[in-house]
Amino acid sequence: MPSLSSKVAVVTGGRGGIGQAICARFAREGARVFAADLGQGSAPLPEGVTFQTLDVTDEASVAGLGAAVEAEAGKLDILVNAAGIAIEKTVEETSLADWNKIFAVNVTGTFLVSKIGLPLLRKAGGGSIVNFGSYDGFIADPGLAAYCATKGAVHALTRAMACDHGPQGIRVNAVCPGFIDTPMLQSFFRDAGNIESLKQQVRDIHPMRRYGTPDDVAGLVAWLASDEAVYASGQLWVLDGGLTAQVQQMRL
């Protein structure tokens, strides 16, 4: 039997690189999935996946998502907070508007959607929340100061939520990817210039000698969302092809 049959799932950033792979994997595992994002995009929605317009920074929009899930599915078993943005700047280069924007999406968005999701998860008798941290929440890439700060905040929020809601049968974990080949990563390389040599350099410093794929991430998220992970909570799951196991880090 598929591991998520009869589960209802919401995936924010559900039309992004990683979010799409998670939605498709959840649907293949038998879940009913709401892919929530700013726009639907052009890629077709897999069977079992419904699109829901969402701006995670807007409380009314988040409330609309909660109401739609309640009306159409009556409960929620799995919430994945994958919506996120990156800003490639040092502190000196980062304006207050940049800072507020990235915190609004990556941190406040995770907070607002979780706040609306928790009562629905309780209604289902418990469930699983998977937040998106990053290896950048542990160690820093140069020129990503505000992004690193948001991911550190998501890690701390994940642990706090796991403590508060574990007694209600709600597990909360964060997946912390390294370099995953998505539009976010491609934009990072574009902005850094000298794309091909940089891509090769970064690939070569990975013990696995490759980037992660969205499907690699979806596999871990599907396990954390499933009942097989029944005792997994409050943890930060790094998925980076061994990158941060090394002594020496690269300089980009």
Show which residues are catalytic: 147
Nearer to ligand NAD, 73 or 243 (CB): 243
Total binding residues toward ligand NAD, as defined by CB under 6 A: 28
Nearer to ligand NAD, 115 or 125 (CB): 115
Q: Is 218 in the site for ligand NAD (CB under 6 A)?
A: no
Q: Is 185 in the site for ligand NAD (CB under 6 A)?
A: yes
Strands laid side by side in the 170-177 sheet = 49-53, 32-37, 8-12, 78-81, 127-132, 170-177, 236-239
Nearer to ligand NAD, 109 or 127 (CB): 109
Nearer to ligand NAD, 83 or 129 (CB): 83
Which residues are registered as beta bridge partners of 49? 33
Distance CA 231, CA 20 (A): 26
Q: Is 13 in the site for ligand NAD (CB under 6 A)?
A: yes
Q: Is 105 in the site for ligand NAD (CB under 6 A)?
A: yes
Place of tokens 């929020």: 157
CA 7 to chain centre: 19
| Nearest Cα to Cα of residue 17 among 80, 62, 109, 83 | 83
Q: Is 192 in the site for ligand NAD (CB under 6 A)?
A: no
What is the footprint of ligand NAD within residues 20-39 (CB under 6 A)?
A: 37-38
Angstrom CA distances, 119 to 1, 122, 124, 186, stand at: 28, 5, 9, 37
Distance CA 88, CA 76 (A): 35
Start-to-end CA span in the chain (Å)? 45
Sole binder of ligand NAD in the list 9, 11, 31, 56 (CB under 6 A): 56
**Taking contact as CB under 6 A, which single stretch among the options 52-60, 71-79, 164-172, 220-228 is the one that binds ligand NAD?**
52-60
Sole binder of ligand NAD in the list 52, 94, 128, 134 (CB under 6 A): 134
CB of 139 to ligand NAD, least distance (A): 12
What are 49's two structure tokens? 């996946």
Q: Is 132 in the site for ligand NAD (CB under 6 A)?
A: yes
Sole binder of ligand NAD in the list 80, 145, 180, 236 (CB under 6 A): 180
| Nearest Cα to Cα of residue 85 among 57, 119, 50 | 57
Angle between helices 96-103 and 145-165 (to 10 degrees): 30
What is the footprint of ligand NAD within residues 138-177 (CB under 6 A)?
A: 177
Residues that bind ligand NAD (CB under 6 A): 12-13, 15-19, 37-38, 54-57, 82-85, 105, 109, 132, 134, 177, 179-180, 182-185
